[in-house]
Amino acid sequence: MSLTPTRLTRVRPLALLALVLAMATALLGGRASAGSSAAAAGPLPCDLYAAGGTPCVAAHSTTRALYSAYSGRLYQVRRASDGATRDIGVLGAWGYADAAAQDSFCAGTSCLITVLYDQSGRGNHLTQAPPGGFQGPAAGGYDNLAEASAAPVTVGGHKAYGVFVAPGTGYRDNSTNGIATGDQPEGMYALFDGTHYNGGCCFDYGNAETNSRDNGNGTMEAIYFGNIKVWGYGTGNGPWVMADLENGLFSGVNPGYNAGNPSVSHRFLTALVKGGPNHWAIRAGNGQSGGLSTYYDGPRPNASGYNPMKKEGAIILGIGGDNSNGSAGTFYEGVMTSGFPSDATENAVQANITSVGYAAPALAGAPTVGSRVSLRATTSCCTTSYLRHNTADTNAAIATVSSSSSSADKAAATWIVRRGLGDASCVSFESADKPGQYLRHYDFRLRVDTIDSSALARLDATFCPQASHNGQGVSFRSANYPSDFVRHYNYGVYAASHGGSHDWDSATAWADDTSWVVTSPWA
């Protein structure tokens, strides 16, 4: 399909009128409060892009429909207990995700997100990213899939789930329909969790190489979010919204530092990149209120190979164009367009995003960073047992602890909750009686250990609290193995999947064994 550079073409009067009406509806429509049951009436993001003459050619979301007339599938989940899959669709008018269907299907086990369906009708679905310039940690060198319940939100007062990308997780479509190639113009936006990021390469959403390899400068054009400074950065310590154009994360016209690109910290972050012949822009804003700011709008970078561009038209999420997969982030919704969208169109899209009331629910029973806690098992056999480290070796185990236990046993079952060493959105557990040593998994067994500065060790010692598998307390997901949870088995403690190949992956009592009540500390 030929893509017309709309910024060089007059907008027809009828199209202009349609855009004005759509913008008025988006800006004046009622906002949804956190407890409301319906979104603001009016056109949704892809309706607004179409009215502006730059229609969506890919539209992905696990939280809601992006067209007012869309009533199809949003995403697919796969259940660990039996490998069954289920498509998650929308709930009636205005198309919020049917999170209850996921909760019912995944009850008592875990699920992974296997497909993000394209709502545009072009079939640009995102699936598990294959190996490329970098191998992924899953079988065959593929990337991991996201745990389906790891990023709960509410939108329009309805429960939904985002896509929680831990390092090693990624999605891709290398055979697309209608995505810009070469120097053709395009636009894109994504709604991210602005507090979930790292300095790994590269948490992207957008246009990439079709062979999962680095094919040279200008062969991709994607939104990047994070705080890596290797190629480009802005003011402060980050994170920044930048453009990944291959062999360069650009914060403005020059490689490296650009003063016009600020650090951002919105819980829900709207990030936009658009590009055409010798013209590109970065814009961003708070996904809960207010408008968009323009961080850069001008000619292609002042570096060789980016004018003209050589975009290839694949779509990536959570990874770089060559499958570099050391990044972290959370994705809720995003689109790619045919043509270079106007600022007015993007402003209308931002107004719609803020109108639907994205909010982050608190997780009941989760541990608080800085607190001292003990972790009680919930399996019927072991409700007086607590997670502790052994005194004879470094391994973690469960054992009965009571008011009559020795001071040493109480201390061994007490943990100091720290911000996640490998992912600040999660937690790490420092041993109360072995300062500087943390709970970590090693060959799947949990133990206490001194953690060095390596990314792997820090992720091994990081666990992400989420709703428990049996309705009691919380469950703790491994930060770098999305389908593995902290589990007690035969009194040892492991990072365990549901029904995997190891003894400790046994499906028997898995939901109970992976659920923990956070209690007051024994010491």
Residues marked active site are found at 246, 322
Amino acid letter for position 411: A
H helices present in 413-475, as ranges: 455-460
Amino acid letter for position 400: T
What helix, strand, coil percent values describe the chain, rounded to 5? 15, 35, 50
CB 282 within 8 A of CB 274: no
Q: E strands along 239-291, which residues?
A: 240-244, 249-250, 256-257, 268-276, 279-286
DSSP state of 147: B
Amino acid letter for position 381: C
CB 174 within 8 A of CB 323: no
- What letters, b where the CB count within 10 A reaches 16 and e where it falls short, cover 263-278? ebebbbbbbbbbbbbe
Bridge-partner residues for 269, per DSSP? Answer: 192, 286
CA atoms of 501 and 26, how far apart (whole Å): 51
Angle among Cα 476, 477, 482 to the nearest 5 degrees reads: 170
